[in-house]
Protein backbone atom coordinates (compact mmCIF):
# COMPACT_ATOMS: atom_id res chain seq x y z
CA UNK A 1 0.00 0.00 0.00
CA UNK A 2 1.32 3.42 -0.99
CA UNK A 3 1.37 6.05 1.71
CA UNK A 4 0.19 9.48 0.59
CA UNK A 5 1.49 12.68 2.15
CA UNK A 6 -0.98 14.37 4.48
CA UNK A 7 -3.06 17.22 3.10
CA UNK A 8 -2.57 19.07 6.38
CA UNK A 9 1.19 19.09 5.78
CA UNK A 10 0.64 20.52 2.30
CA UNK A 11 -1.65 23.24 3.65
CA UNK A 12 0.94 24.13 6.30
CA UNK A 13 3.47 24.58 3.49
CA UNK A 14 1.14 26.42 1.11
CA UNK A 15 0.19 29.95 0.22
CA UNK A 16 -3.45 30.89 -0.35
CA UNK A 17 -3.62 32.26 -3.89
CA UNK A 18 -7.35 32.77 -4.47
CA UNK A 19 -10.24 32.55 -2.03
CA UNK A 20 -13.81 31.60 -2.88
CA UNK A 21 -14.84 35.23 -3.51
CA UNK A 22 -12.16 35.63 -6.19
CA UNK A 23 -13.04 32.25 -7.71
CA UNK A 24 -16.75 33.09 -7.87
CA UNK A 25 -15.98 36.43 -9.56
CA UNK A 26 -13.79 34.70 -12.16
CA UNK A 27 -16.51 32.12 -12.86
CA UNK A 28 -19.15 34.83 -13.28
CA UNK A 29 -16.92 36.64 -15.79
CA UNK A 30 -16.32 33.44 -17.77
CA UNK A 31 -20.05 32.62 -17.77
CA UNK A 32 -20.87 36.03 -19.22
CA UNK A 33 -18.44 35.48 -22.12
CA UNK A 34 -19.76 31.95 -22.72
CA UNK A 35 -23.37 33.21 -22.75
CA UNK A 36 -22.43 35.78 -25.38
CA UNK A 37 -20.55 33.27 -27.55
CA UNK A 38 -23.19 30.52 -27.36
CA UNK A 39 -26.41 32.57 -27.24
CA UNK A 40 -29.21 30.55 -28.78
CA UNK A 41 -26.94 27.52 -29.28
CA UNK A 42 -26.99 24.07 -27.71
CA UNK A 43 -23.34 23.18 -27.10
CA UNK A 44 -22.19 19.87 -25.67
CA UNK A 45 -20.73 20.71 -22.26
CA UNK A 46 -18.05 18.12 -21.51
CA UNK A 47 -16.69 18.09 -17.97
CA UNK A 48 -13.21 16.63 -17.60
CA UNK A 49 -13.34 14.45 -14.50
CA UNK A 50 -12.40 14.47 -11.69
CA UNK A 51 -10.78 17.85 -11.28
CA UNK A 52 -13.28 19.99 -13.16
CA UNK A 53 -16.31 18.78 -11.21
CA UNK A 54 -16.60 21.68 -8.70
CA UNK A 55 -15.83 24.32 -11.33
CA UNK A 56 -18.02 22.81 -14.07
CA UNK A 57 -21.11 22.69 -11.89
CA UNK A 58 -20.77 26.31 -10.78
CA UNK A 59 -19.94 27.53 -14.28
CA UNK A 60 -22.97 25.78 -15.79
CA UNK A 61 -25.27 27.38 -13.22
CA UNK A 62 -23.75 30.80 -13.92
CA UNK A 63 -24.23 30.37 -17.68
CA UNK A 64 -27.91 29.89 -16.84
CA UNK A 65 -30.70 30.70 -19.24
CA UNK A 66 -30.09 31.63 -22.86
CA UNK A 67 -27.72 28.76 -23.53
CA UNK A 68 -29.15 25.25 -23.52
CA UNK A 69 -26.19 23.17 -22.37
CA UNK A 70 -26.26 19.45 -23.07
CA UNK A 71 -24.20 17.67 -20.43
CA UNK A 72 -21.83 14.75 -20.69
CA UNK A 73 -18.46 13.98 -19.19
CA UNK A 74 -15.20 12.28 -19.86
CA UNK A 75 -12.41 10.99 -17.73
CA UNK A 76 -8.96 10.98 -19.26
CA UNK A 77 -5.79 11.43 -17.28
CA UNK A 78 -2.05 11.45 -17.61
CA UNK A 79 -1.38 11.69 -13.88
CA UNK A 80 -3.27 8.78 -12.28
CA UNK A 81 -2.54 10.08 -8.77
CA UNK A 82 1.04 11.19 -9.49
CA UNK A 83 2.50 14.69 -9.76
CA UNK A 84 3.92 14.24 -13.27
CA UNK A 85 2.13 13.07 -16.38
CA UNK A 86 2.53 10.10 -18.68
CA UNK A 87 0.53 8.68 -21.56
CA UNK A 88 -3.14 9.69 -21.90
CA UNK A 89 -5.32 7.04 -20.28
CA UNK A 90 -9.10 7.01 -20.95
CA UNK A 91 -11.33 5.94 -18.06
CA UNK A 92 -14.61 7.12 -19.65
CA UNK A 93 -15.44 8.57 -23.05
CA UNK A 94 -18.58 10.66 -23.63
CA UNK A 95 -21.66 8.71 -24.69
CA UNK A 96 -23.12 11.65 -26.66
CA UNK A 97 -22.28 11.63 -30.39
CA UNK A 98 -19.97 14.55 -31.22
CA UNK A 99 -20.47 14.69 -35.00
CA UNK A 100 -21.35 18.23 -36.07
CA UNK A 101 -21.53 19.49 -32.47
CA UNK A 102 -20.07 22.58 -30.85
CA UNK A 103 -18.19 21.21 -27.85
CA UNK A 104 -17.14 23.12 -24.74
CA UNK A 105 -14.47 21.23 -22.78
CA UNK A 106 -14.47 22.28 -19.13
CA UNK A 107 -11.36 21.55 -17.05
CA UNK A 108 -9.79 22.68 -13.79
CA UNK A 109 -6.37 23.66 -15.14
CA UNK A 110 -4.45 24.27 -18.32
CA UNK A 111 -0.85 23.48 -17.43
CA UNK A 112 1.24 22.16 -20.31
CA UNK A 113 -1.91 21.04 -22.10
CA UNK A 114 -1.03 17.50 -23.16
CA UNK A 115 -4.22 16.04 -21.66
CA UNK A 116 -6.47 18.76 -23.10
CA UNK A 117 -4.76 18.54 -26.50
CA UNK A 118 -5.37 14.79 -26.59
CA UNK A 119 -9.01 15.25 -25.60
CA UNK A 120 -9.53 18.09 -28.09
CA UNK A 121 -8.00 16.03 -30.89
CA UNK A 122 -10.17 13.05 -29.99
CA UNK A 123 -13.30 15.26 -30.09
CA UNK A 124 -12.35 16.62 -33.50
CA UNK A 125 -11.63 13.08 -34.69
CA UNK A 126 -15.16 12.14 -33.58
CA UNK A 127 -16.49 14.86 -35.91
CA UNK A 128 -17.02 17.81 -33.56
CA UNK A 129 -17.59 20.97 -35.58
CA UNK A 130 -15.83 23.09 -32.97
CA UNK A 131 -14.04 22.50 -29.69
CA UNK A 132 -13.53 25.32 -27.22
CA UNK A 133 -11.88 25.08 -23.81
CA UNK A 134 -12.94 26.65 -20.52
CA UNK A 135 -10.24 26.31 -17.86
CA UNK A 136 -10.66 27.53 -14.30
CA UNK A 137 -6.92 28.11 -14.04
CA UNK A 138 -4.01 28.50 -16.43
CA UNK A 139 -0.39 28.14 -15.33
CA UNK A 140 1.83 31.08 -16.16
CA UNK A 141 4.69 29.59 -18.19
CA UNK A 142 5.76 29.03 -21.80
CA UNK A 143 5.68 25.21 -21.90
CA UNK A 144 2.16 24.73 -23.27
CA UNK A 145 1.51 22.46 -26.25
CA UNK A 146 1.95 24.65 -29.36
CA UNK A 147 -1.38 25.86 -30.68
CA UNK A 148 -3.37 24.91 -27.58
CA UNK A 149 -5.14 27.78 -25.85
CA UNK A 150 -8.07 28.03 -23.50
CA UNK A 151 -10.86 30.14 -24.96
CA UNK A 152 -12.11 31.03 -21.48
CA UNK A 153 -9.79 31.31 -18.46
CA UNK A 154 -10.83 32.16 -14.95
CA UNK A 155 -7.55 32.73 -13.13
CA UNK A 156 -3.86 32.65 -14.01
CA UNK A 157 -1.77 30.84 -11.40
CA UNK A 158 2.00 30.83 -10.89
CA UNK A 159 4.17 28.02 -12.22
CA UNK A 160 4.08 26.09 -8.95
CA UNK A 161 2.22 23.06 -7.62
CA UNK A 162 -1.35 24.28 -7.12
CA UNK A 163 -4.24 22.48 -5.48
CA UNK A 164 -7.75 23.05 -4.18
CA UNK A 165 -11.02 23.79 -5.95
CA UNK A 166 -10.85 20.63 -8.04
CA UNK A 167 -7.09 20.35 -8.31
CA UNK A 168 -5.59 17.65 -6.17
CA UNK A 169 -2.64 17.13 -3.90
CA UNK A 170 -2.01 13.39 -4.26
CA UNK A 171 -5.76 12.85 -4.89
CA UNK A 172 -6.66 14.96 -1.85
CA UNK A 173 -7.98 18.49 -1.39
CA UNK A 174 -10.15 18.73 -4.50
CA UNK A 175 -13.01 19.92 -2.28
CA UNK A 176 -11.11 22.85 -0.78
CA UNK A 177 -13.03 26.07 -1.55
CA UNK A 178 -9.86 28.00 -2.45
CA UNK A 179 -6.72 27.64 -4.58
CA UNK A 180 -3.34 27.13 -2.91
CA UNK A 181 0.26 26.81 -4.11
CA UNK A 182 3.03 24.96 -2.35
CA UNK A 183 5.75 27.30 -1.11
CA UNK A 184 8.54 24.94 -2.11
Domain ranges in the chain?
Answer: 21-156
Predicted pLDDT at 78 = 77
Q: What is the rounded average pLDDT for all residues in the chain?
A: 94
Contact by Cβ (8 Å): 46, 103: yes
State the pTM of this model.
0.92
Please name which of 146, 156, 72 lies closest in space to residue 110, comparing C-alpha atoms.
156
**pLDDT digits over 120-132, tens only?**
999 999 999 999 9
The structural architecture, per CATH, of the domain 21-156 is: 3-Layer(aba) Sandwich (3.40)
Q: Which of 19-33, 85-99, 142-156, 157-171 has the lowest mean pLDDT?
A: 85-99
> DSSP alpha helices (H): ranges in the chain?
7-12, 20-38, 53-63, 114-125
Asked if pLDDT for residue 86 goes beyond 80, the answer is no
Q: Check 107, 108, 111, 168 and give the catalytic one.
A: 111
Predicted pLDDT at 84 = 53
Catalytic residue check, 140: no
**DSSP 8-state code for residue 8:** H
Q: How many other CB atoms are found less than 10 A from the CB of residue 73?
A: 19
Amino acid sequence: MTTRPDLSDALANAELLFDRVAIDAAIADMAERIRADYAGARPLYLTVMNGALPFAGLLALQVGEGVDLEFDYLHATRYRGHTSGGELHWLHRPRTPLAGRRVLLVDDILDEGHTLAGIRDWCLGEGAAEVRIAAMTRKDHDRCVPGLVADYVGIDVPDRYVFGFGMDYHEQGRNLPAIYALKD
